[in-house]
Chain A
């Protein structure tokens, strides 16, 4: 895409976050959407493009009273919203729509109006993974990790340190679910979920949502909020079965998506002021830092241990506390995007002083898919 041709002009999360037993999934989408429209000074009749995952764009458009000329139902897991941003930017440049709303809502904890987790036993995953007892993501997303640890001579303590440092960021965020400091020992003494993963290495399960509104850079200047420009984007997919990843120490989807986004943005890694890496589990920032090229293979754990990604470090990472401590409704990508936008607007609870470029990297499924969006706050 053309750099900085499209901007985020509306961004908001749901009014409440965490435990929301009195709202269904579609209402969480709508609550976030109404907040984002208020942020941008728009009404539903001003929106002519919709994109969402979880719910269908048909449900979303009808529920909000929108008649779109553009609808994107790309649903590849928690990074779907990164792909929606990418597709929306291309669509706006192509004239398919002028003002595109992207929403997320999920009743991950309360399960109000939410579907089940059933999988088709005739699908490849149903045939070749389900019979062996996989349940939810803690028993699938985690499977490559022992191979990663052995390859690079790392331990459980390296996973624990990721959670410890993200909790330090969460402590600065009033909306974070968990704010109390934790130590490596606390993580290693938390209940075992699926060796080598303990509870504090796994994401939260909460209710919530978020929404973004995108328009062309030309129009963005007339909106009430400081525009946040799209500098570069990437996406890719690899496999619906974690057991079929090409390399258990690296995600091909991450590498392809990240490289595409950096190439589009025309930036160097040293230009990046702020980074979000979707952290459903403690190993994801390690894979992300390496596959995006911030660290050499096997060096991300030391990079984190040496506090480069912590408060005051040279590469602030997951500054909202991440899926491990902030919130995680199931498809966390929207919250990573929201934090990047806040950082670019200069209004984040743990604001990185003077941040000009933010990289937001998402994962979908169990290393199944990936999307990357690079933001800039300079026109």
Chain B
């Protein structure tokens, strides 16, 4: 079964294009300098339309998660993490933590993680793995 994938909208296209290009693209306000997520063409902090897209560090920490023991059919058969990372730039983002056992012992809150892009057909999803050094 094919992975459930996003349908980009005009407001989010830059984010998904960035994933394909290997960049985690966030937006920030040029008036109050807040970085925010998910994408929209104005600042949710102050309402300004003066915002810019930039390539974020792709680094963050594991903020919270569950390990789903009843995976959706498109997610395979083994228990897997559904996680939220807190990005260095401030926002939180849902993802899967990959590249480590899917166990409470391996998945410690606050451990540093870094983005890795995994391709599914025409889409690349931003997943995160334990940071390497």
Once the chains bind, are B69 and A248 in contact (CB under 8 Å)? no
Q: Flag whether B109 is at the interface (Cβ < 8 A).
A: yes
Q: Flag whether A15 is at the interface (Cβ < 8 A).
A: no
User: Which one of A121, A131, A143, A192 contacts B84 once the chains associate, using CB atoms below 8 Å?
Assistant: A143
> What is A's interface to B at a CB cutoff of 8 Å?
120-122, 124, 126-135, 138-139, 142-147, 150, 191-197, 241, 243-245, 248
Once the chains bind, are B84 and A196 in contact (CB under 8 Å)? no
Once the chains bind, are B96 and A133 in contact (CB under 8 Å)? yes
**CB-CB nearest in chain B for A127:** B6
Once the chains bind, are A147 and B70 in contact (CB under 8 Å)? no
| Cα distance A150–B123 in the bound complex, in angstroms | 35
Once the chains bind, are A244 and B92 in contact (CB under 8 Å)? yes
Residue pairs across A and B with Cβ atoms less than 8 A apart, 10 shown, are A121-B4, A121-B7, A122-B9, A127-B16, A128-B38, A131-B123, A132-B125, A134-B94, A143-B84, A241-B38
On whether A133 and B71 interact (CB within 8 A), knowing A128-B94, A248-B63, A248-B64, the answer reads yes
- Shortest Cβ gap from A232 to chain B (Å): 30
Once the chains bind, are A133 and B92 in contact (CB under 8 Å)? no
* Contact residues of B between 57 and 100, Cβ < 8 Å to A: 63-72, 74-75, 79-80, 82-84, 92-96
* Contact residues of B between 5 and 52, Cβ < 8 Å to A: 5-9, 12, 16, 37-38
Chain B residues in 8 Å Cβ range of A241: 38, 94
- Shortest Cβ gap from A247 to chain B (Å): 10
- Shortest Cβ gap from A129 to chain B (Å): 5
The bracket for how many chain B residues form the interface is 35 or more
| Cα distance A132–B7 in the bound complex, in angstroms | 14
Once the chains bind, are B82 and A133 in contact (CB under 8 Å)? yes
With A126-B6, A133-B96, A196-B104 given, can you name 16 additional A-B contacts, CB distance below 8 Å? A121-B5, A131-B123, A132-B94, A132-B96, A133-B74, A138-B66, A139-B68, A143-B66, A143-B84, A145-B66, A146-B64, A193-B69, A194-B67, A243-B92, A245-B92, A248-B63
Once the chains bind, are B109 and A146 in contact (CB under 8 Å)? yes
Chain A residues in 8 Å Cβ range of B8: 122, 127
Once the chains bind, are B82 and A130 in contact (CB under 8 Å)? no
- Shortest Cβ gap from B64 to chain A (Å): 4
Q: Most chain-A CB neighbours within 10 Å: which of B4, B7, B71, B84?
A: B84
Once the chains bind, are A133 and B63 in contact (CB under 8 Å)? no
On whether A195 and B67 interact (CB within 8 A), knowing A126-B6, A131-B6, A133-B80, the answer reads yes
